[in-house]
Amino acid sequence: MANKKHGGGQEEEMAKAIHEYYRRLCREKGWPVKYDMDYADLPDDIKADNLAAAARIPKVLSHAGLAVVPEDHPDAGIDSKILEDNIELLSEAEHKGWMEQKYRSGWSYGTLRDDNKKIHDALIPYNDLREEDKERDRNSVRSYPEILKIAGCKIVQEEKLHPPLEKGG
């Protein structure tokens, strides 16, 4: 596979994985699948949302000292407990990144969500969200390992990517 660097050329594969994860989750939960089609057939704005979500993953994980690497990286990867131990920090970062993408896409805040007018009631700071909206962000973070596995990646601690410098010299 081509460039599997942390973040970089892997975003398209991660975006595809996000879409496939979403489709599978909807089927498992019995939810309607609004975009039940291959990633390549998605409308451009939905592809852009998936790409933005993919680009966010390494940024969000970095808040807890974590990084994305190819699945064949020698480190075994993290225990999901690390995500849970940092869930509020990571969820807040996920929400902030999601808001930034929505604003870039022309969305604005409104008390009633209206997708046609690009108005969303969750475009507020994380601490002000309803608990159910916070839980969506938490679940997004909790889904990172599965999404990354689909994309051929995994999460490791950043410190394991950089061997300590030798003293002396």
The structure's pTM equals: 0.85
In CATH terms, 8-161 corresponds, of 1.25.40, 1.10.490, 3.40.1350, 2.20.25, to 1.10.490
Domain locations in the chain? 8-161
Query: Which pLDDT score is estimated for 63?
Result: 97
Token pair 């990144």 is found at: 97
pLDDT classification of 5: cutoffs 50, 70, 90: very low
Instruction: Give the best-scoring range by mean pLDDT among 2-6, 75-79, 122-126.
Output: 122-126
Is pLDDT above 60 for 92? yes
pLDDT classification of 1: cutoffs 50, 70, 90: very low
Is pLDDT above 60 for 8? no
Q: Which string of b and e fits 77-105 if b means at least 16 CB within 10 Å?
A: bbeeebbeebbeebbbbbbbbbbebbeee
What is the C-alpha separation between 75 and 66, in angstroms, rounded? 12
- Summarize pLDDT for 121-156 with one digit per residue, the tens: 999 999 999 999 999 999 999 999 999 999 999 999
